[in-house]
Amino acid sequence: MKKTKIIATLGPSSDDPKIMEKLIDAGANVFRINFSHATQEEKDHRIKSLREIEKRRKRPIAILQDLQGPKIRVGVIAEGIELKTGEEIVMTVSGVNKGEIPVQYKGIVGDVNVGDKILLADGRFELKVLSKRHPKIKCKVITGGFLTSKKGINLPTSSISLPALSAKDKEDVAYGLANDVDYIALSFVKSRKDILDLKKIIKKAGKDTKVIAKIERHEAVDNIDEIIEEADAVMVARGDLGIEVSLADVPLLQKDIIKKCNARGKPVIVATQMLDSMVRNPISTRAETSDIANAILDGADAVMLSDETSVGKYPVNAVKAMRRIAMHAEGWSFATNKIIGEDAVKKINSTSEAIGKSAAKLASELKAKVIINATARGKTTGNVARFRPHCPIISVTHTLKVARELELVWGVLPYVLDYKTVREMSRKSTEIARSLNLVKEGDRAVMISGEEVGVEGGTNIIKVKEL
């Protein structure tokens, strides 16, 4: 079975519930709703459809809400502007004259300094700040071209004073919490404070929804350790990150961030243009295949599809391709012992981590076919997964919310199970393993539980069960 999780973004190509079910059958575990683009009707339809499918199939489905964040954009330019390399151009936040670039973010004049770099239209055009005086910034065109309205602006050498949560984001968070999304992805994170600000809103609403920190700003790279520590999961968002830093640095940063997340037991997602050619073509390129495989070999918990499943011509084929690549990469990892696991975790800090490590090691030494874990909040399950056992992890919980959250965690098959004793849990979860053809008579299973059922933090038993 596939252990790496697949995130599929919903959009016009996948809004039909029948397509959603095909994506699940193809290997999708988590569904992303991009709040930068979706209308109210589209958001309502997607969440309602997924919950109906979940209820009918009796299997948890995780929903990831991706916030727009404070994107800085060029204003309206009626006929566009030709930026000529070597010439000067003026950007302004008010009182636009002909030939000037209007900017929607008024704080840009205060944020940039002389000598700073300004990138426009996903980095296609580059300006250098020569001088500034409110409300205008005089720049030199380093790389020119034809600029049109509403293009994005990146400030890779400046510190932006905009908060990570815009007014729109706060409204979207309220909507997401009211509709019980499972993860909220925070865009343009700069530091731990951004995550704490979102967590305060979540807590005030009486929820504990998990927060994913999207790494796409140069400040986030500088503060990566504190961000990983505070976030529940991390996304390497290579689109804007590749504008903020040198493109040549992106693969190296990806490896470094994955390694740090593995060491801390935090799920890590690799995203952006993983199968971009499949937006238009039915098969992937060799380079894309290598990209996905290498992300998995580096230790990614999940890989994400964006345009491929939201607006592409072949959404189901894209998920199937990703699943096939993932399974081949995982198979090579285990066959050659090139796996992330014990070596990635330098220090054990809790009983839960020690149990996770021991269970994974036991399963390996005894060639167990499955690890079965009873969990109240999913913590022990995550600590088993971080050691990348060779066999699947069946995680049983009383709570649908926890089962949904575990859909993002590497190697985990989450199930909502009603049981009152450890013995009953063992019997029912073994039946699940048999129904999935994971075990047969004579096989071994590693069982993890607590002495008392449903007690958070009470996991203290590991045993080997001969089936």
Give the pLDDT confidence score for residue 84 in this predicted structure. 97
Contacts of 287 (CB under 8 A, 6+ apart): none
Using a 10 angstrom Cβ sphere, with 0-12 exposed, 13-18 middle and 19 or more buried, the burial of residue 30 is buried
Q: Among positive and negative, which fits the CA dihedral 164, 149, 125, 236?
A: positive
CATH number of the domain bearing residue 114:
2.40.33.10
Asked whether residue 150 falls in the same domain as residue 243, the answer is no
For 66, list phi and psi in degrees, rounded to 5. Answer: -105, 110
Q: Which residues lie across from 445 on neighbouring strands?
A: 370, 465
**The domain boundary residue, chosen from 336, 356, 380:** 336
For 387, list phi and psi in degrees, rounded to 5. Answer: -95, 5
Whether residue 118 is predicted with pLDDT greater than 70 in this model: the reply is yes
Give the pLDDT confidence score for residue 345 in this predicted structure. 65
What's the mean pLDDT in 355-381? 92
Q: Which of 54-68, 218-232, 281-295, 452-466 has the lowest mean pLDDT?
A: 452-466
What's the mean pLDDT in 198-226? 97
**The domain boundary residue, chosen from 274, 303, 336:** 336
Inter-residue contact 129 to 137 (CB < 8 Å): yes
Arithmetic mean of pLDDT over the chain: 94
CATH number of the domain bearing residue 224:
3.20.20.60
> pLDDT for 233-278, tens place per residue?
999 999 999 999 999 999 999 999 999 999 899 999 999 999 999 9
Angle at 421 between CA 420 and CA 423, to 5 degrees: 140
Asked whether residue 168 falls in the same domain as residue 145, the answer is no
Whether residue 102 is predicted with pLDDT greater than 70 in this model: the reply is yes
Does residue 159 form part of some domain?
no
Asked whether residue 169 falls in the same domain as residue 303, the answer is yes
> pLDDT for 272-310, tens place per residue?
999 999 999 999 999 999 999 999 999 999 999 999 999
CATH number of the domain bearing residue 362:
3.40.1380.20
Measured CA to CA, the distance from residue 261 to residue 319 in angstroms comes to 24
Whether residue 427 is predicted with pLDDT greater than 90 in this model: the reply is yes
Does residue 329 form part of some domain?
yes
Asked whether residue 45 falls in the same domain as residue 88, the answer is no
Tokens 């050659």 map to which residue? 336
DSSP-derived pairing of the beta strands 152-154 and 117-120: antiparallel
Asked whether residue 315 falls in the same domain as residue 398, the answer is no
Asked whether residue 180 falls in the same domain as residue 292, the answer is yes
DSSP-derived pairing of the beta strands 393-397 and 62-66: unpaired
Give the pLDDT confidence score for residue 339 in this predicted structure. 46
Asked whether residue 374 falls in the same domain as residue 406, the answer is yes
Asked whether residue 56 falls in the same domain as residue 82, the answer is no
CA distances from 438 to 40, 363, 413 (A): 42, 14, 11
**The domain boundary residue, chosen from 154, 184, 210:** 154
Give the pLDDT confidence score for residue 343 in this predicted structure. 57
Whether residue 26 is predicted with pLDDT greater than 60 in this model: the reply is yes
Asked whether residue 268 falls in the same domain as residue 363, the answer is no
What's the mean pLDDT in 201-205? 98
Give the pLDDT confidence score for residue 150 in this predicted structure. 92
Asked whether residue 13 falls in the same domain as residue 143, the answer is no
Confidence (pTM): 0.94
> pLDDT for 47-91, tens place per residue?
999 999 999 999 999 999 999 999 899 999 988 999 999 999 999
Does residue 88 form part of some domain?
yes
361: containing domain:
343-466
Give the pLDDT confidence score for residue 69 in this predicted structure. 94
Whether residue 335 is predicted with pLDDT greater than 80 in this model: the reply is no
Q: Report the number of distinct structural domains present in the chain.
A: 3
Asked whether residue 416 falls in the same domain as residue 433, the answer is yes
Give the pLDDT confidence score for residue 105 in this predicted structure. 95
Beta strands per DSSP E along 170-301: 183-186, 210-215, 233-237, 268-271
Inter-residue contact 305 to 319 (CB < 8 Å): yes
Tokens 């296609």 map to which residue? 124
Q: Which residues are part of the catalytic machinery?
A: 32, 73, 214, 272
Q: Which of 357-371, 413-427, 444-458 has the lowest mean pLDDT?
A: 444-458
The amino acid at 303: V
Does residue 425 form part of some domain?
yes
Task: Single out the residue of 457, 404, 394, 402 nearest to residue 431, CA to CA.
Answer: 394
Asked whether residue 281 falls in the same domain as residue 324, the answer is yes
Q: How many CB atoms lie within 10 A of CB 451?
A: 10
DSSP-derived pairing of the beta strands 72-73 and 152-154: antiparallel
Whether residue 370 is predicted with pLDDT greater than 80 in this model: the reply is yes
Measured CA to CA, the distance from residue 291 to residue 108 in angstroms comes to 36
